[in-house]
Amino acid sequence: MTAPSKEAHLKIEVPDIGEVSALWLCPARARWLLVLAHGAGAGMGHPFLGKLAAELASVEVATFRYQFPYMEQRRRVPDSPPVLKSTVRAAVRAASETAPDLHILAGGKSMGGRMTSQAAADHPLELEKVRGLVFFGFPLHPPGNPGTKRAEHLAQVRIPMLFLQGTRDQFADLKLLRPICANLGARATLHEIETADHSFHVLKSSGKTDAEVMRELAQSVRTWADALSLSGSARRA
């Protein structure tokens, strides 16, 4: 893996909330920029996101990671959905100003991806520069409580979406997620990783290591993004 460029620490302004931190990592020949939100229980500095950002840099995808206000303020309970979605929109604006020449994707790990999709469903014009959404473990339902209510807003998202899901993810029963993606048609691409859990740890029986899975995630994003350039739509992986 090619060594990525050094991360830059930035601040972004969330309207009516204040400043939050961001990490900007851009490889020398970047082709895409992914605005990347963290999950509910860990901030932008979590090792998973750091490794993911490095792998994405190795396939020429820049990343703009950022904190939600509650994590910036070291609170445990996530902010309300309006605050989370406002932060998503502020991060996309800041990222587009940081790298105006790159095509933009947005998404995140678990809750961060879901809040990005809700922001895109509620205010599509505010995210009009975003070419597609990427979900690293879409949290379809709480563990042990399967349901599809959290996916109802996806029908209002008008841009392509990439779902990267482990087959052992307790937050998303694939028997429920697969038909949701099928109903979304060309807008949805579902890439399944055998034996991976919600943190994308895999069993030895998979024949893969966690490091190989991380590379697979990054390469899947790059391949899907390049397909957007060629066809303007997502496709089933």
**Residue 145 gets which letter from DSSP?**
-
Helical spans, DSSP H, in the chain: 47-58, 69-72, 81-98, 111-122, 174-184, 210-231
| Amino acid identity at 35 | V
pLDDT digits (tens, 9 = 90+) for 163-213: 999 999 999 999 999 999 999 999 999 999 999 999 999 999 999 999 999
The answer to pTM > 0.75 is yes
Contact of 38 with 72, CB cutoff 8 Å: no
The full set of domains in the chain, from first to last, is 8-231 (3.40.50.1820)
What's the rounded Cα separation, in Å, for the pair 107 and 101? 19
DSSP character at residue 151: G
Cα distance between residue 219 and residue 150, in whole Å: 27
Q: How many CB atoms lie within 10 A of CB 183?
A: 12
What pLDDT score does 127 carry? 83
Predicted confidence at residue 2, as pLDDT, reads 45
Q: Which residues of the chain have pLDDT under 50?
A: 1-3, 233-237
Which residue in this structure is represented by tokens 């933009």? 104
